[in-house]
Amino acid sequence: MRFAERMSRLGTETAFEVLARAKALEAQGREIVHLEIGEPDFDTPANIIEAAVKALRSGATHYTPSAGIPPLRQVVASQIAETRRIPVKPENVVIVPGGKPIIFFTILALVNEGDEVIYPNPGFPIYESMINFVGAKAVPVPLLEENNFGFDLDVLRKRINERTRLVIINSPQNPTGGVLSADELKEIASLVQQYDDCYVLADEIYGHILYEGEFASIASLPGMQERTIILDGFSKTYAMTGWRLGYGVMPEALATLEARLMTNSNSCTATFTQMAGVEGLTGPQGDAHKMVEEFRRRRDIIVAGLNAIPRVSCLKPAGAFYVFPNVKKFGRPAKQIADYLLQEAGVAALAGTAFGEYGEGYLRLSYANSVENIQKALKWMEAALAKL
């Protein structure tokens, strides 16, 4: 079968490949601690589930407008207006099945073949995948440990130019757990505003999972709302990864185009999940807050445990639910170490290079697992790594 040439430029997510290998080992009777998948290990709050069930029983099983049901678009607009302190209308909101469509649609709608897109590296692999898929030039900005995994602003100044159509930022970050400071956001905004047709895709999906300080959005800065596409959703905050419910907030003209892309791809997001989303944003927030506090406890345990392992060092992340330990002292490629830990220690982790070339020398571990399993993984890792 002959495939379209563009398919050769489409990447994947290594986490799902490692998950499949780990599951195969479990099928052979091995005990595996899963630290590879980036999803909360909590159940969706009961009030959200009940709202979905009620919606199904009331007949919410039909098509909706491609941009989303009006009640959810209004609630999202109100919440974004409050939390980012900017004026937002429902017409600025597009509801989509998960967060990835906003990455896909924004790049499709704004970026031509040959344009340049700046993205964080290491970063969520779908950024680079979609840039390459449309035939644009992927321009990485390294996230360096010595800068607390913030944007390397010196590199950004050198690489942004009149061909740059989009700058992608992610804060709190996957895979590092780093958070961009207010000063970094101001500098990024200043550089973007030097070019008439340059925009920012701000992936803020982990914005509610923050352990230190106050969440800051680049869209809140003067002159940036009309240049920013906010990506957010329900998967991480409300443990709703399998529900596939996300949204983008953007200039109205772009929202019209992204809704048209929804029409051409998914038609619409499932009605009952959207109604559950209304409950998620307007209902009790206690479960979401408890989840963040539990993640904070696990973060402290896993960071302390990793730093106690000889030749491993790990910064304490300020957000999300990942750690990005440095394993350079072992003198081996990160993928080799990750493969070794899965086979010899029974710990499923990801190589930093699954998130880009600047991830070499690091591993990504998700602490969306129980304290008991985290402590077990640390013990097994220390014993296995001592043999390298």
160/275 same-domain check: yes
**Does 48 fall in a domain?**
no
- HEC string of 186-206 equals HHHHHHHCCCCCCEEEEECCC
Give residue-wise pLDDT tens across range 125-170: 999 999 999 999 999 999 999 999 998 999 999 999 999 999 999 9
**Does 292 fall in a domain?**
yes
Q: Mean pLDDT across the stretch 228-232?
A: 98
- Identify the band that residue 212 occupies on the pLDDT scale cut at 50, 70 and 90: confident
What percent of the chain has pLDDT above 70?
Answer: 100
- Identify the band that residue 12 occupies on the pLDDT scale cut at 50, 70 and 90: confident
Of 224, 259, 282, at which residue does a domain stop?
Answer: 282
**Does 73 fall in a domain?**
yes
Least confident range of 15-19, 237-241, 380-384: 15-19
**Does 52 fall in a domain?**
no
Cα–chain-centroid distance for residue 145?
Answer: 19
**Does 251 fall in a domain?**
yes
Q: Mean pLDDT across the stretch 333-350?
A: 97
pLDDT at 15: 86
245/333 same-domain check: no
Of 282, 308, 330, at which residue does a domain stop?
Answer: 282
* pLDDT of 213 above 90: no
204/327 same-domain check: no
pLDDT at 191: 98
- Identify the band that residue 47 occupies on the pLDDT scale cut at 50, 70 and 90: very high
Residue ranges of alpha helices (H) inside the chain are: 14-27, 46-57, 70-84, 100-110, 125-133, 153-159, 182-192, 252-265, 271-282, 286-307, 334-340, 371-385
Give residue-wise pLDDT tens across range 84-112: 999 999 999 999 999 999 999 999 999 99
- The partner residues of 313 in beta bridges, in order of sequence, read 326
- Identify the band that residue 36 occupies on the pLDDT scale cut at 50, 70 and 90: very high
With b for 16 or more beta-carbon neighbours within 10 A and e for fewer, the 202-238 pattern comes to bbbbbbbbbbeeebbbbbbbeebbebbbbbbbbbbbb
CATH number at residue 129: 3.40.640.10
pLDDT at 16: 86
271/227 same-domain check: yes
96/70 same-domain check: yes
* Mean pLDDT taken over the chain: 97
278/296 same-domain check: no
150/296 same-domain check: no
- Identify the band that residue 316 occupies on the pLDDT scale cut at 50, 70 and 90: very high
pLDDT at 279: 98
Q: Mean pLDDT across the stretch 347-375?
A: 97
Give residue-wise pLDDT tens across range 263-314: 999 999 999 999 999 999 999 999 999 999 999 999 999 999 999 999 999 9
276/197 same-domain check: yes
Residue 126 identity: I
Q: What angle do CA 303, 309, 310 make, to 5 degrees?
A: 135
User: What's the first-to-final CA gap in the chain, in angstroms?
Assistant: 44
14/118 same-domain check: no
Q: Other C-beta atoms within 10 Å of 114: how many? A: 11
pLDDT at 331: 97
pLDDT at 146: 94
Of 243, 258, 282, at which residue does a domain stop?
Answer: 282
217/71 same-domain check: yes
**Does 56 fall in a domain?**
no
273/306 same-domain check: no
160/267 same-domain check: yes
pLDDT at 365: 98
Range of the domain at 20: 5-43+286-385
**Does 273 fall in a domain?**
yes
**Does 375 fall in a domain?**
yes
* pLDDT of 318 above 90: yes
CATH number at residue 302: 3.90.1150.10
The number of domains in the chain is: 2
* pLDDT of 38 above 90: no
